[in-house]
């Protein structure tokens, strides 16, 4: 029941604001469910992909997806996505590695904090600098591949400042962009076997009605204020991951020191 409720709350936030999928799901899977890092990211990829798949038609049928900027984003982000997933697999071979937890926490906190970056878009700047989009989308792909997060908040900020699109087009284009990254990431993690099917199904049981309700209510609620709340909670969740990783790392170091001291004492005995 708890997993179903978590899925519902996360999906409701995604439907209302368009952000928070990976930023909420990964900390929940790590801190509450107790999945290892690689499995948490893989499960979050599939969960976020299904949520975006449900929400995408609301924006596609409203013609709020800009095909040119969508292609520019994917050109840079897909190579970064592959690199990020490879880095995660290398670092997460030790499933309890505190270093991976710390890196995930930092990435989630940083990607969520960009929600507070002020919009500096102007049409002439966007028209002259849109060719930078693939290069700027590359690190978004890397972070998304490593943590399953970033496509929502980072993609939105990028499009607001490097395109002349309306806010509705920015949200729609970024949502479909995140959907493609999630589908690719889901397929790769599925091939790796790094997905908890049982947990995923429980999250989806609550998540699908949650995202539908959120999309239905999106026009009736103050999205800007909600995004601020979602971003603050996601930052706190990322910092909690960092704290948990540091504590675990310190515990490992203390245990290692104790074992070395014990071995040394035994070796000097007559």
Phi-psi region of 204 (alpha: psi -120 to 50; beta: other; left: phi over 0): alpha
CA distance 138 to 73: 8
Handedness of CA 26, 31, 35, 36 (dihedral sign): positive
Q: Pull the structure tokens for residue 5.
A: 């409720």
* Higher pLDDT pick, 118 / 198: 198
- Which one, of 241, 240, 248, 199, lies nearest residue 96 by Cα? 248
Helix axes 98-113, 133-147, angle to 10 degrees: 140
Looking at residue 226, its pLDDT comes to: 65
Asked if the model's pLDDT at residue 78 lies above 90, the reply is yes
Q: What's the whole-number mean pLDDT along residues 145-174?
A: 76
Asked if the model's pLDDT at residue 203 lies above 70, the reply is yes
**At 155, which helix (H) or strand (E)?**
helix 153-161
Q: What's the whole-number mean pLDDT along residues 28-53?
A: 86
* Higher pLDDT pick, 199 / 217: 199
Whether the model clears a pTM of 0.85, i.e. scores above it, the answer is no
CA distance 154 to 125: 19
What pLDDT digit, counting tens, does each position of 58-77 carry? 777 777 788 888 898 899 99
* Percent of residues in the chain assigned helix, strand, coil, to nearest 5: 85, 0, 15
């Amino acid at each position: 029941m708890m997993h179903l409720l978590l899925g519902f709350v996360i999906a409701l936030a995604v439907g209302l604001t368009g952000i928070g999928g990976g930023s909420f799901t990964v900390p929940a899977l790590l801190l509450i469910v107790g999945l290892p890092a690689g499995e948490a990211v893989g499960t979050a990829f599939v969960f976020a992909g299904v949520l975006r798949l449900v929400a995408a038609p609301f924006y596609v049928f409203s013609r709020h997806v800009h095909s040119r900027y969508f292609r520019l984003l994917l050109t840079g982000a897909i190579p970064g996505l592959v690199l990020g997933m490879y880095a995660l697999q290398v670092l997460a071979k030790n499933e309890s590695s505190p270093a991976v937890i710390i890196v995930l926490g930092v990435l989630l906190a940083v990607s969520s904090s960009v929600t507070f970056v002020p919009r500096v878009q102007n049409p002439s700047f966007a028209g002259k600098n849109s060719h930078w989009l693939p290069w700027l989308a590359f690190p978004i792909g890397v972070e998304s591949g490593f943590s399953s997060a970033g496509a929502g908040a980072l993609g939105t900020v990028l499009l607001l400042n490097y395109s002349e699109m309306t806010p509705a087009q920015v949200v729609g284009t970024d949502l479909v962009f995140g959907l493609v990254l999630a589908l690719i990431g889901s397929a790769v993690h599925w091939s790796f076997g790094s997905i908890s099917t049982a947990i995923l199904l429980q999250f989806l049981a609550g998540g699908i009605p949650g995202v539908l309700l959120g999309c239905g209510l999106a026009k009736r609620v103050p999205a800007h204020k909600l995004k601020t709340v979602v971003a603050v909670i996601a930052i706190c969740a990322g910092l909690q991951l960092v704290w948990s990783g540091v504590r675990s790392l310190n515990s490992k170091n203390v245990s290692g020191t104790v074992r070395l001291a014990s071995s040394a004492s035994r070796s000097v005995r007559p």
